[in-house]
Structure 1
Amino acid sequence: MLPTYAGRLKEARTKANLTQVQVKSHTGINNKTLSGYENGIAQPDYETLNKLCTLYGVTIDWVLGNTNNPNSALNDTERALVKAIELGDDSFLDAEFTINGRELTRADKEKLQAMARLLLLQDR
């Protein structure tokens, strides 16, 4: 199974109507290197990933699988929660969260956590 970033980089490139050769002319990234990223053979460094995301008009959080919205960046707290949920860390249940001015109960957070885990597993 391909890493999330691989499929999403290819999806973003094709939705941007760009060939690998066109990406090379815009970024200087060799099309063989880009192919390696899109096939999960190689992993781009942060600078390269940022360059590609800027060209494609998507966020790094989306490419890495932290969110399912390609145009929405997560803040540091949200990113930490996604990682905690993915790793099975239950510290999310002890954190304070409010929605529309109402603090979530532990039962509410357990339901939210279960839904988040389902969504994260569905995306892989």
Structure 2
Amino acid sequence: MLKLFSERLKEARLTAGYTQIQVRDHTGVNNKTLSGYENNISEPDFETLKVLCDFYGVTTDWVLGHTNNPHSKLTEAERDMVEKVDLDDDSFIKGDFNFAGRELTVEEKKELQAMARLFLNRKTGN
């Protein structure tokens, strides 16, 4: 995951049209430190990651590889998927879901479904 993270962080900077020096001047993140992030040498803390993502206009979920959409708005395909998933039936188990670049197994989807149900029941008091 670190390799994807470093590639996306660099891609976000380049797409936004900034040099590492410009990022330093606007965010206070040292350009040598940023180079370490972009070259798969080190990782930022959560606060630094948030600062960089906010500055580049991308989501942390995209940089971390949790989605292929760099922006906070869902794509039409993502909206369709969210609308179709129902944790009370088998649509979640039958759906194609990826995490960290690989498709979840049926067992993983069942565990995730059970955890989501527990979490949501706790939130609603059921």
What is the TM-score of this pair, normalised by structure 2? 0.64
Letter in 2 for 1:11: E
- Residue matched to 1:86: none
Moved over 3 A (4+): 102-105
- Residue matched to 1:116: 97
1:48 and 1:4 map into 2 onto residues whose CA distance is 17
- Residue matched to 1:91: none
Q: Identify if the C-alpha distance between structure 1 residues 45 and 99 changes in structure 2 by more than 3 Å, giving closer, same or farther.
A: same
- 1:61-100 aligned at under 5 Å gives the runs 61-72=61-72, 99=84
Structure 2 stretches lacking a partner, 5+ long: 75-81, 104-126
2:50 and 2:87 map into 1 onto residues whose CA distance is 36
Do the aligned partners of 1:59 and 1:73 also contact (CA within 8 Å) in 2? no
Letter in 2 for 1:110: I
What is the TM-score of this pair, normalised by structure 1? 0.65
- 2:35 corresponds to 1:35: yes
TM-superposed CA distance for 1:3, in Å, is: 2.3
Instruction: Write the deviation string for residues 25-81 of structure 1: whole angstroms up to 9, x where unpaired.
Output: 00111111001001111000011001100110001111111111111279xxxxxxx
Letter in 2 for 1:120: G
Structure 1 stretches lacking a partner, 5+ long: 75-96
- Residue matched to 1:7: 7
Q: In percent, how many aligned pairs have the same letter?
A: 52
- Residue matched to 1:50: 50
2:66 and 2:100 map into 1 onto residues whose CA distance is 11
Q: Superposition RMSD on alpha carbons, in Å?
A: 3.0
